[in-house]
């Protein structure tokens, strides 16, 4: 976490110059979350979302803070209506749907997770963002999960596997 800590410190040092800028608050909160500083990240991401509820970067940061804090119900309550209003061709639509699918799995809603895959995550269903060569893999460094489409991956801790979707949880110590 050395580099992540340095980024969080950098964001702390320049924060006074940005004040209540919603985008900066979301970026700062994300940096703090990545560094494990969840208590410090929470009010920043909440303020960012309050200032601009439609900011996709803020929604992403909120999903991360909830994930890292072990609050799948909070993440679900936020992401479901947020995604319903966000354009399907928006850059974060597939990725935030991926976050929601992880939340659904955490809550034991496996059918909902599969429906999200079919409707929003698989490459053919989503035009926003950059495609990932036939597979969707979360670029989030701390999410500890990968959603692989139509591939088999043998790793410790396969949580759920059915045709068309494989969700793999892995520890940081694993390559």
β-sheet bridge partners, residue 165: 162
Quote the pLDDT of residue 60: 96
Number of neighbouring beta carbons within 10 Å of residue 133:
8
- What is the SS3 assignment for 15? helix
Predicted TM-score (pTM) of this structure = 0.73
What burial class does residue 154 get, using C-beta atoms within 10 Å of its C-beta: 0-12 exposed, 13-18 middle, 19+ buried? exposed
Contact 117, 164 (CB under 8 A): yes
Q: Tens-of-pLDDT digits for all 175 residues of the chain?
A: 589 999 999 999 999 999 999 999 999 999 999 999 999 999 999 999 999 999 999 999 999 999 899 999 999 999 999 999 999 999 999 999 999 999 999 999 999 999 999 999 887 765 555 444 333 444 444 343 444 333 333 333 333 334 344 444 433 343 4
CB atoms < 10 A from the CB of 136, how many? 25
Residue 2: per-residue pLDDT: 87
For tokens 């320049």, the residue is: 14
pLDDT for the residue numbered 122: 83
Let me know: does 122 contact 144? Beta carbons within 8 Å.
Answer: no
Phi, psi of 35 (to 5 degrees): -90, 0
What is the layout of strands, in order, in the sheet containing 165-169?
145-148, 165-169, 158-162
How far is the C-alpha of 40 from the C-alpha of 11, rounded, in Å? Answer: 12
């Amino acid at each position: 976490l050395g580099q992540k800590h340095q980024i969080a410190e950098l964001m702390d040092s320049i924060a006074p110059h940005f004040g209540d800028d919603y985008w900066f608050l979301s970026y700062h909160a994300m940096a703090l979350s990545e560094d494990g500083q969840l208590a410090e990240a929470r009010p920043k991401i909440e303020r960012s979302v309050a200032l601009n509820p439609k900011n996709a970067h803020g929604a992403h940061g909120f999903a991360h803070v909830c994930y890292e804090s072990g609050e799948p119900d909070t993440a679900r309550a936020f992401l479901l209506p947020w995604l319903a209003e966000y354009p399907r061709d928006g850059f974060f639509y597939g990725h935030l749907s991926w976050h929601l699918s992880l939340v659904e799995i955490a809550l034991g809603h496996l059918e909902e997770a599969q429906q999200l895959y079919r409707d929003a995550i698989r490459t053919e269903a989503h035009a926003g963002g950059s495609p990932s060569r036939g597979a969707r893999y979360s670029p989030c460094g701390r999410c500890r999960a990968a959603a692989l489409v139509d591939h088999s991956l043998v790793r410790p801790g396969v949580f759920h596997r059915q045709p068309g979707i494989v969700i793999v949880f892995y520890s940081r110590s694993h390559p």
